[in-house]
Amino acid sequence: MFKRIKTFFKAFGPGVITGAADDDPSGIATYSQTGAEFGYGQLWVAVWILPFMISVQEACARIGAATGKGIASVIKDHYSKKVLYAAVFLVVVANTINIGADIGALGAAAELILPVSFPILVLGFTALILFLEIFVSYRSYAKILKWLALSLLAYPLTVFLVNQPWGELLRATFVPNVEFSFAFLFIITGVLGTTISPYMFFWQASEEVEEERSRKLMAHGEAHPTKRFMRLLRMDNFLGMIFSNFATWSIIVVAATVLHSGGITNISTAADAAKALEPLVQTFPNAGFLAKLIFASGILGLGLLGIPVLSASASYALSEALGWKEGLNLKLRRAYGFYGVITAATLIGLAINFVGIDPIRALIIAAVLNGVVAAPLIFLIALIAADKKIMGEWASGWLSQTFVWATFALMAAAAIAMFSSFLR
């Protein structure tokens, strides 16, 4: 029995980390905004998008495991340079903007509980993130990342502490509701973009390669995944995406029940978002401060989790495209280019916070940008994952192909509908 439990938890790897990183500060802000603005109107997305999210991430993980290479390396080997550089450009730009938004969120959240100025906070967090990512080994860092994922539990706890209209809530969970207004389509594109994000594609594929190296499944640069490894990969991916979307559902429910019902329909500050967690501590003195403390802890934990994933996935993409040595398992002296990209992306993201953009609004814009960028990248992933010349015995079956192509259609349709409603 103990051995089975141990095996179950050992399966937690890139999929669980990716799932938790998916609910980064940008995700929390976007899900909170949709709950505050539309109540339960977009709650169905958290459930209906789950099979699409699982399919895309499983395809990305399988690409990494089957080829022993990250997605950018695979594109480099089998497609033109124009396709390669376009894909890398999209993910690097989207990730860098997202890093900036997330660093700003760390500063704004910390300001709620610490008497320290915003510039000093964002500078301090940037230095801490770079130190951990560059100087802490991959295995140690992966363990840290897994535990940071637990900070999401504040939202599910609040769901079950608040008196919920369960009939209405369950109906909104399973019955889709669509409004053809720019405001609705803008936020739903953000919800899709922060749930199925470009950085997740590149990160998970590259981290499966890291896993293979650590488990001695690589020989002479070629991957030799076992059936057991692939089975654990799928379990890890499934658990990570379930965990991520349950957190998504919980954040939207809490924001809808507490904020929307309380007349707060626009989240303009971190303090506004923190009010969603006040019911969790309402029986305690100083409930307002405690809610801010819990919210800040969640943002800080998930920011420290998500920002390294964003910068590393950008670096994997660019390093693979340029043929540089890459991998969080490598020491700094063996991968200057790889860690240089991580540093540059993080510092550019930091600089974004000094041009006067509101941190909360920046988080939502970053999510919408991810929604737009995701579609062409999913198109490439669908082609690669189904190609038997590239994937061998691990090429996509008909079910995986169906869902991955459907995800491409969904993301493209959402982006087109948003732009169309804006131009009308």
Nearest to 314 by CA among 202, 162, 413: 202
- Cβ neighbours for 260, distance < 8 A, ≥ 6 positions apart: 35, 36, 37, 38, 39
Domain 2-423: CATH superfamily is: Amino acid/polyamine transporter I (1.20.1740.10)
**What is the C-alpha separation between 326 and 338, in angstroms, rounded?**
5
The model's pTM is: 0.88
**Residue 305 pLDDT:** 80
Give the domain ranges of the chain.
2-423
**Residue 379 pLDDT:** 97
Q: Convert the pLDDT of each residue in 374-415 to its tens digit.
A: 999 999 999 999 999 999 999 999 999 999 999 999 999 999
Q: Which two tokens stand for residue 406?
A: 């459907």
Least confident piece of the model among 8-17, 24-33, 139-148: 8-17
Proportion of the chain in helix, strand, coil states, percent, rounded to 5 = 80, 0, 20
Q: Convert the pLDDT of each residue in 81-95 to its tens digit.
A: 999 999 999 999 999
**Residue 5 pLDDT:** 45
- Cβ neighbours for 13, distance < 8 A, ≥ 6 positions apart: 142, 207, 211, 232, 233, 236
